Amino acid sequence: MAEGVTDQTPKKEIKKCRSDFRFGQVLGEGSYSTVILAEEKTTKKEFAIKIIQKRHIMKERKTAHVMREKECLKRLNHPFFIKLYFTFQDEENLYFGLSVAKKGELLDCILAAKKFDFVTTRFYAGELVAALEHMHSINIIHRDLKPENVLLDDNYHIQITDFGTAKVIEDGDLSTTRTSSFVGTAQYVSPELLKEKQACKASDLWALGCIIHQMHCGKPPFQAQNEYLTFQLILKCQYEFPEVFHEDVKDIVERLIVIDPQARLGSSDQEGYPSLKSHIMFEGVDWENIANQPAPKIMASLQKISNGQQQTNIHELVDDFDHAMLIDATGTTESSKTSEDQLSSCDPSDTEGFGLSVNLPETEKQNWMEKQKSSKWHSFCKGKLILKRGMMEKKRGLSVKLRQFILTEGPRLIYVDPVSLQQKGEIPWSEKLSVELKTFRIFYVHTPNRTYHLIDKSNNAIKWCKKIQEVSRHYFGNSEKGNSSS
């Protein structure tokens, strides 16, 4: 090379690969991905690695969702969003290296608190407003904003995630540009999406109003026994406030949950985000320094209640992950199993269970008891008839465990490790126990001291809720206790 001439050849970026990391616990799973905690071997930095099986997204036609999420995460540059640090792939999987939100979901803290006070509601409402302002300014609509998609970082600041159903608008004003696909979650979906299958920037503002309502009273404004009835309430904008509800919070909710998208506070016809940020509820909020403000002190105790502050032990990390943890092409996971032999050892009827009536005639009950004695689950039942059983994931904070749930006479609701066949716990039953249906897969069992977050991967959560309600009515006569909401 001639003297004085420097080599201008661009250096090739060194791509990361799976062997660069050590892997730990499963942090969660989406409709087409599994997220696992990982530590980079050279830097010791922690990441949440989202692993997406190529054959799954091809079979389920989710390629567009994956590319959309990647594009959104690359564009977002704000402290209130999950960060995308790198991507790589191998023959089987795609990998997204994301920031870790160790304090779990905002929803878990709402459930633990029952409801947020005014100060806590204002704090998180303000962070959501700042996040949406940035997101909409770069032409992204989230379209599935809900407390489950709002995670918390080490300092209890929000980290919005899950952009698989988001929309990037390339041209035009985001407040008037429409999309034609149906996405969202029943309790937070906007009326324009239901009526016209069209979402816009103001659709996220509707969801914001629903979340603020839920934070301050513990329940979203729209919930009924099934999705259809929930949608009818939304179309009529029919919701209520409890007697004790701060007037400033009530006012902002009423100005966000409005049928006409352009009449919602924060929309372009309402002078945009300056009008929303100047609402009396946000009086005193330092918008320029909002990301550096300390979170309410109560959050630490709430997060401890919701997940026991489970921390990942560095010694539990391994050089590779177990492929049985990943969502397979049928959309199921077997996170607790380690071999094909263990996979085949489970009864084929585990996802459904017996579903027997608690009012069976005695002769028929004895017939079922004889059949039950040949089941490996019979020993856990203490001579009681199994009314329903099935494999479900039990989520607590960032921990997700696969368990066999067994509902028996008594009533008892126990859960067992399907591999070691050891009983891991029992949900304490009382007349105050209730169930809450969230989606076809997710439901909560509420007890006086704890809420159990359960995921039925066979999409039969409603059957579990109905069976638990039936048993509760039989033993306690509390027909109103089970709140089966979707």
Catalytic: 319? Answer: no
Is 116 in contact with 215 (CB distance < 8 Å)? yes
SS3 of 77, please? coil
Contact 454, 446 (CB under 8 A): no
- 37-45 LR contacts (CB < 8 Å, sep 24+): 37/100, 37/312, 37/317, 37/398, 38/97, 38/317, 39/314, 39/317, 40/16
Within 10 Å of residue 22's Cβ, how many Cβ atoms?
18
As a whole number of Å, the CA-based R_g of the chain is 24
Q: What is the DSSP letter of 411?
A: T
Beta-strand pair 46-53/34-40: antiparallel
Backbone angles phi, psi at 296, to 5 degrees: -55, 140
Token look-up 């839920």 returns 214
Task: Please give the full DSSP string across 121-173, using - where no structure is assigned.
Answer: HHHHHHHHHHHHHHHHHTTEE-S---GGGEEE-TTS-EEE---TT-EE--SS-
- In the block, residue with structure tokens 């998180």: 124
Q: Are 378 and 392 in contact (CB under 8 A)?
A: no
Beta bridge partners of 396: 399
**Exactly one of 144, 162, 204, 456 is catalytic; which is it?**
144
| Residue 482, helix vs strand vs coil | coil
Q: What are the residue numbers of the active site?
A: 144
